Amino acid sequence: MDFSRRHFLRRAGVAAAAAVFLPRFAGYDRALAQATSVPAQKPWNTQSFSIGAIRATSFRDGTFVSPVRPIWTNAPEGEAEAVLQAAGFPDNNVTLSFNVLLLEIGSEKILLDGGYGPLAGSAAGGLAGALRAYGIAPEQVTGVVLSHAHGDHYGGLVDLVTGKPSYPNAHHFVTKTEYAFWTGGADLSKSALPADQKRTTAEQSLKALRALDGKWEKVDANQKLVDGLELIPAPGHTPGHSGFLISSGKEQVLHMVDAAHNHILMFARPEWTMAYDTDPAQAVATRRRLFDRAAADKLRVMSYHLPFPGTGRIVAEGKGYKWLGEVFPA
């Protein structure tokens, strides 16, 4: 049963969110201060592909480049740098893309995450314009699924000027675990972030979720949301971090979201973590489980932060894995 029949009958009684976001996701400020932002005039990329009868489109909300330390790895000094250099990246920088996936399933238009939006300044915020250029107005989006409550995923969900939802007619989904964690005094004691960043991360994630109170439907970690779209538990980066299994006919795509932030480091050495993981050991276990599944089943894979459009395949290589990014015809 689709969203419209199953969930949206209640929409008339749902109040619009009225909370106001802080102007920046301060938890990433240190990385952004060192980042090489994409020029504002650069076109935001869009790539469509099919998953059986489902039309999927990856939108690059933005990108930035920052030094590998201290955010992106817990590797011993020199080891991550050596892996990057061996792969042909001598400047020890990590490039992140923000790949937001739109699924058109029957009459439904479902966004998996909301992008970084204006919270990242000029480094991101291209999703809204790219959607319009693609031919979809915000009012036409029928569903938004938040994989987890970090700013580069929720930043585009509320209009900073009006305080209103960016997608006013969409039903918004988040796992019960994720919502409870950030609204119940988030425990970031295992995170490698400095104390001030732990505090601002927790405060702003709470504000983001509260900004859309009344819009959220809190769902189970392994719930099927609509035919063709199923949540996959992927805890560790955050407690309620979710991946997605997208299926139609004999075709499937496993969307790992933030199970890996870099296409070199976390594949060559999956035991390496990043500072924003709330439970690093659990994040490693989740990454290995998803990588093993993708490699064994030869699954097509999607990821939020890997090189645009974020699609490809994973193969086992030595004691780790290798990312094979998908190449699309021009």
Q: Judge whether residue 122 has pLDDT over 90.
A: no
Domain borders along the chain are 3-325
- Taking the complete model, does pTM exceed 0.75, yes or no? yes
User: Which pLDDT value is given to residue 2?
Assistant: 52
* pLDDT digits 0-9 by tens, 290-307: 999 999 999 999 999 999
Rounded Cα distance, 16 and 247, in Å: 32
Q: How large is the average pLDDT for residues 132-159?
A: 95
Which is the CATH superfamily of the domain at 3-325?
Answer: Ribonuclease Z/Hydroxyacylglutathione hydrolase-like (3.60.15.10)
| pLDDT on residue 228 | 97
- Average pLDDT of span 102-114: 97
Q: Could you give the CA distance from residue 234 to residue 277 in angstroms, rounded to a whole number?
A: 12
pLDDT the model gives residue 32: 37
